[in-house]
């Protein structure tokens, strides 16, 4: 007879396969004297059928000489169920069943993953359990899907996928059977919860103890924390309650502190290098249980503090400043002097923008970034920026210390090019709305845009390819003066045009 260990888990959907959940995932049934609900064929359910892995060994009556391989995941307290060996679990063959949370539907793809191995003194190292579905927890009359890939004496993972046919519609059970072997199945949940906090302990003053638990869906500490781990840094009794689908467990540990030696002074601050005036916080992390503190903050508004964690220490003058901490307990004091610990720089002067035609100039700075209403302008990092459209702009300048200041906003309009600047010919000008546009030489026009004198776009031809001359019809536009912007192989050119009807 072969002995088998199977670790069962549900795999996420593959190729649109339906993922399922198992209701009885931690084997709360069977228990002593109880069969699976509504399962008259399951017999002899007792302690010998329930196993548990302690982290170092299996516990249970069938353990001797039959099951010895640890779970592949190294879990502690994983609950298991034994199939067969000296105990027959069913009236005909050795099997177990697990209830699904949703019934199987015809035509739907399902996929399940199993981790298992041949195990025990009677094993020949070639176990391949048979896989069924049914509407009751019995393999007799069940729909047989086939066998899992044969596993040897080392852990093996296999996935079984199938598309349910009409005979499987509304099946709610997964059934696994062994005609020629037996084995152990690990609960597909994470295992029963564990809350082993260890023995009561005494620490050196200033130290802390990591308290960690696992296997839970929820955690509740006496401190109010709901994480799986906390640090005990104060004396007292720490209690944790760990809960998952397999149950609830509680444990506690008492932590006390004693002075182990003279203080080792240490601290950190919320900031050390900053621009302009700022208030920062200091946190003491001295070890060996300091009971008194003296801080020196030359250059700050408050130059001395006797608090353990001084907050809101304000630096309102620029420069480089030292910080000193003197921490003491009953065994002595320790002084930590940090020269030039704080560096405070002034922000650069507010930059001034001047405009000349279509170019914006900034007063000198270390580095520049220009912005428009859409945010930072890609590549616009020079001392000047040539804008292509009217709008609102500003510049952010940064000095060599990394401190930044932004300019005020500047709003631009559309301007006519200076006389002779890449000029083109518009005729007649003014007109009643019909214009002919051309460039000297072989330059061709690919786009025309019209703005009114406030900078509002009133016409845009879009990019249409190179044409010369270009006939422009503005007969529907109101009388007035406009700026014509023509894009050609020579660049962007602008000129005033008039419409008089």
**CATH code of the domain containing 226:** 2.60.40.10
In a domain, 195, yes or no: no
In a domain, 420, yes or no: no
Q: How far apart are CA 333 and CA 324, in angstroms?
A: 13
Pair 34, 169 in one domain: yes
Q: In a structure prediction context, what are the per-residue pLDDT tens digits for the chain, which is 501 residues long?
A: 233 333 333 332 223 455 455 544 444 444 433 333 333 333 334 444 556 666 677 666 554 456 777 777 655 556 666 665 444 333 344 666 777 777 888 888 777 767 777 776 556 777 788 888 998 877 778 999 988 888 887 877 777 778 889 999 999 888 777 766 666 666 554 444 556 788 899 888 778 898 987 656 688 999 999 988 899 999 999 999 887 654 577 889 999 987 777 888 999 999 999 998 899 999 999 988 889 999 999 999 989 999 999 999 999 989 999 999 999 988 889 999 999 999 999 999 999 998 766 788 888 899 999 999 889 999 999 888 888 778 889 999 999 999 999 998 888 766 555 554 556 788 888 899 898 887 766 667 778 888 876 667 888 888 776 666 788 888 888 888 888 888 777 677 778 888 888
The last residue of one of the domains, among 138, 159, 186, is 186
In a domain, 192, yes or no: no
Owning domain of residue 206:
201-258
The last residue of one of the domains, among 219, 239, 258, is 258
Q: How far apart are CA 197 and CA 216, in angstroms?
A: 14
Pair 215, 128 in one domain: no
In a domain, 358, yes or no: yes
Answering whether pTM is above 0.75, one says: no
Q: How far apart are CA 8 and CA 89, in angstroms?
A: 19
In a domain, 194, yes or no: no
- Other beta carbons within 10 angstroms of residue 456's beta carbon come to 11
In a domain, 193, yes or no: no
Pair 162, 15 in one domain: yes
- CATH label of the domain that carries residue 62: 2.60.120
Pair 168, 296 in one domain: no
Pairing relation of β-strands 391-398 and 404-406?
antiparallel
- CATH label of the domain that carries residue 484: 2.60.40
Pair 170, 23 in one domain: yes
Pair 446, 486 in one domain: yes
Pair 79, 49 in one domain: yes
In a domain, 431, yes or no: yes
In a domain, 484, yes or no: yes
Task: Provide the domain count of the chain.
Answer: 5
Pair 84, 142 in one domain: yes
Pair 41, 146 in one domain: yes
Pair 46, 101 in one domain: yes
Sign of CA dihedral 71, 73, 78, 80: negative
Chain centre distance of CA 442? 58
Pair 165, 208 in one domain: no
- Short-list 182, 187, 22, CA closest to 117: 182
Pair 99, 179 in one domain: yes
The last residue of one of the domains, among 151, 186, 221, is 186
């Amino acid at each position: 007879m072969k002995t088998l260990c199977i670790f069962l888990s549900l795999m996420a959907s593959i190729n649109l396969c339906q993922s399922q959940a198992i209701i009885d995932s931690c084997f709360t049934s069977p228990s002593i004297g109880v069969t699976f609900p509504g399962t008259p064929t399951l017999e002899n359910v007792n302690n010998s059928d329930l196993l548990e892995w302690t982290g170092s060994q299996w516990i249970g009556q069938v353990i001797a000489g039959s099951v010895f391989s640890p779970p592949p995941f190294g879990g502690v307290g994983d609950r298991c169920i034994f199939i067969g060996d000296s105990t027959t679990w069913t009236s005909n063959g050795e099997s177990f069943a697990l209830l699904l949370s949703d019934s199987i539907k015809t035509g739907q793809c399902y996929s399940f993953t199993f981790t298992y191995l041949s195990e025990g003194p009677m094993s020949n190292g070639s176990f391949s359990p048979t896989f069924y579905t049914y509407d009751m927890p019995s393999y007799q009359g069940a729909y047989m899907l086939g066998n899992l890939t044969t596993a040897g004496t080392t852990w093996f993972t296999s996935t079984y996928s199938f598309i349910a046919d009409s005979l499987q519609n509304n099946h709610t059970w997964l059934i696994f059977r062994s005609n020629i072997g037996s084995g152990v199945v690990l609960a597909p949940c994470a295992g029963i919860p564990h809350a082993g906090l260890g023995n009561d302990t005494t620490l050196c003053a200033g130290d802390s103890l990591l308290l960690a638990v696992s296997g839970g869906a929820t955690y509740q500490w006496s401190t109010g924390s709901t994480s799986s781990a906390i640090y005990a840094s104060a004396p007292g009794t720490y209690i944790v309650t760990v809960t998952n689908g397999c149950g609830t467990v509680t444990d506690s540990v008492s932590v006390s502190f004693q002075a182990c030696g003279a203080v080792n002074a240490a601290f950190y601050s919320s900031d050390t290098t900053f621009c302009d005036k700022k208030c920062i916080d200091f946190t003491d992390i001295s070890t060996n249980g300091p009971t008194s503190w003296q801080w020196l903050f030359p250059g700050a508004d408050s130059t001395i503090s006797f608090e353990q964690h001084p907050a809101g220490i304000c630096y309102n003058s620029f420069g480089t400043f030292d910080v000193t901490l003197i921490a003491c307990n009953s065994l002595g004091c320790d002084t930590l002097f940090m020269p030039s610990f704080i560096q405070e720089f002034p922000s650069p002067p507010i930059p001034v923008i001047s405009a000349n035609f279509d170019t914006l100039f900034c007063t000198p700075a270390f580095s520049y970034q220009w912005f428009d209403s859409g945010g930072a302008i890609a590549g616009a990092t020079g001392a000047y920026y040539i804008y292509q459209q009217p709008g609102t702009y500003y510049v952010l300048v940064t000095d060599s210390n990394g401190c930044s200041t932004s300019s005020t906003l500047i709003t631009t309009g559309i301007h006519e090019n200076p006389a002779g600047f890449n000029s083109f010919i518009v005729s007649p000008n003014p007109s009643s709305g019909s214009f002919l546009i051309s460039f000297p030489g072989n330059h061709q026009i690919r786009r025309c845009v019209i703005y009114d004198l406030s900078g509002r776009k009133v016409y845009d031809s879009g990019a249409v390819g190179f044409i010369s001359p270009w006939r422009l019809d503005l007969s529907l536009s109101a009388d007035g003066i406009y700026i014509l912007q023509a894009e050609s192989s020579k660049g962007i050119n602008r000129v005033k045009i008039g419409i008089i009807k």
